């Protein structure tokens, strides 16, 4: 959640981003790394490759994740929950149980 919200608010090195980093004790370099992940690595994930065409008009890479968050309906909390569910395949791994369980 923090990665999404902080990355969405950080549109470069500005006062609001610096204030947010300070309040959450997140170094600006970390925010920049997260933004780079959204603009580069996220776009290469199988999830995004399979789902990006479903968003019309297309989501701008430079606007991630804020522009993607805006595509999910509902109040801010509901939209964030929907986005986090959408992103879940990136963070949840399947667990193989031993035989007999």
* Mean pLDDT value of segment 17-25: 70
What is the distance between the alpha carbons of residues 98 and 26, in angstroms, rounded to a whole number?
Answer: 40
| pLDDT, tens only, 22-75 | 787 888 788 888 888 999 999 999 999 999 999 999 999 988 888 898 899 899
pLDDT value at residue 82: 94
6 vs 47, residue with greater confidence: 47
CB 68 within 8 A of CB 56: no
pLDDT value at residue 63: 87
Q: CB under 8 Å, gap of 24 or more: what pairs does 88-94 form?
A: 89/47, 90/45, 90/47
Q: What pTM, to 2 d.p., does this model score? A: 0.74
């Amino acid at each position: 959640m923090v990665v999404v919200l902080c990355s969405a608010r950080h549109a470069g090195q500005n006062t609001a981003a610096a204030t947010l980093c300070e309040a959450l004790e997140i170094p600006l370099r970390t925010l920049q790394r997260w933004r780079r992940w959204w603009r580069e690595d996220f776009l290469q994930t199988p999830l995004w490759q399979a789902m990006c065409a479903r968003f019309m008009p297309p989501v701008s890479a430079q606007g991630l994740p804020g522009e993607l968050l805006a595509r999910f309906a509902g109040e801010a909390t509901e939209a964030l929950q929907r986005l986090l569910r959408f992103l879940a395949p990136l963070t949840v791994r399947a667990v193989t149980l031993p035989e007999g369980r």
